[in-house]
Amino acid sequence: MRRRGFTLIELLVVIAIIGVLIALLVPAIQKVREAANRLSCQNNLKQLALATANYHGSAGEFPPGYERSLNHNGGLFCFLLPYIEQNALYQRIDWAVPSNNQTPGGPATAAIKGLICPSATIPNNPEPLAGAALMAGVTSYGGNGGTMSLPQDQAKNDGIFHETGPLSKPKANQVAIRMADVLDGQSQTILMGERTHTDGAWDSWLSAPLLPKPVPPLQPFTQLRVWAPAGPMALYQITHSGAAVLNGNMGKTYIPPPPPGIGMPLLPPPPVPLADVEMFIQYRWMAYGSHHSGGVNFAFLDGSTRFIATSIAPSVMLALSSRAGGETPGGW
């Protein structure tokens, strides 16, 4: 007796059913994976918040956003290393010559898992710094630099982290913030948040002499996401500003204002349409952002972590970024 096999039509139907099932399952799997990544990212921030609290308990103050002196230079995450199980790395840091840390095999080239969001698009860690034969480990996070961090000569220093030391700006001999300085409430004040460090407009400006637009449209500006910064851009790399909307530095195309005079190359503006000029390039550098859909993870001074929607009102974001502004933020 001959066995009856599948007809061509039956085989096509089975294939179609399998295709439909795959089409239904893949988005569900992606959603589950992203949910897990978001929780993992929140845990990273919670651990950083705990490390900051432990530092404060030991030193009586929060770590500097960047300590600027003649023989001791370093940023926020450098000071937190002993509190995130990286004391051996901390002991290797050359505080007097921070650029030495980024030489091959230097401490700044370390890839620290807890400083990276699982959803972040980071092809290499450490990454080569723009325009330099140096490597640096990167981070997805940074501290609350207040309502305006740039330019440094005009910084309001109303957040949690800012420059300290004899060479600090906007004033010399600035000191670190203490918990007693936080008057708006620990649950209403941001400690740290995520940042994407991708800006199509910035990259199109840099590549203007060669390309009409960025390829691909979003490219990482790697120099702004190192965890152990060195040089005059240090504070930009490790603190954020509440002056820019969430993800305000993603997917934009515009002709930026002239370079702010910090050693950037004097290149002509890109041949792209003038659009979205309401945000100065300094604010775009400092914008909070993430690769999560719909919002950004934050840690607050009370140790809690929250996912804030990108639709948050700018005024509320500013209120959450100040430590003693007297605001009562709502609607978030």
Q: Is residue 3 helix, strand or coil?
A: coil
C-alpha to C-alpha distance for 66 and 235, rounded to whole angstroms: 6
- Integer-rounded Cα Rg, in Å, for the chain is 23
C-alpha to C-alpha distance for 226 and 235, rounded to whole angstroms: 11
Burial of 118 (0-12, 13-18, 19+ CB in 10 A): middle
pLDDT (0 to 100) of residue 20: 86
Mean pLDDT by 10 residues, the chain (332 residues): 69 86 78 86 97 97 86 83 94 79 81 90 74 75 83 80 86 92 95 74 40 39 67 66 61 42 41 38 69 91 94 87 87 74
Residue 60: what residue type?
A: G
C-alpha to C-alpha distance for 168 and 154, rounded to whole angstroms: 12
pLDDT (0 to 100) of residue 252: 44
Question: Taking Cα atoms as reference points, which of 205, 192, 194 lies closest to residue 159?
Answer: 192
Residue listed under structure tokens 């960047």: 66
* Residue 91 vs residues 107, 124, 173, 279: alpha-carbon distances, Å: 9, 25, 25, 40
Question: What are the beta bridge partners of residue 2?
Answer: none
Residue 331: what residue type?
A: G
C-alpha to C-alpha distance for 158 and 179, rounded to whole angstroms: 13
Say if residues 198 and 80 touch (Cβ distance below 8 Å).
no
C-alpha to C-alpha distance for 142 and 233, rounded to whole angstroms: 14
pLDDT (0 to 100) of residue 155: 76
pLDDT (0 to 100) of residue 45: 97
Residue listed under structure tokens 């929607």: 309
Would you give the DSSP letter of residue 273? -
C-alpha to C-alpha distance for 55 and 74, rounded to whole angstroms: 15
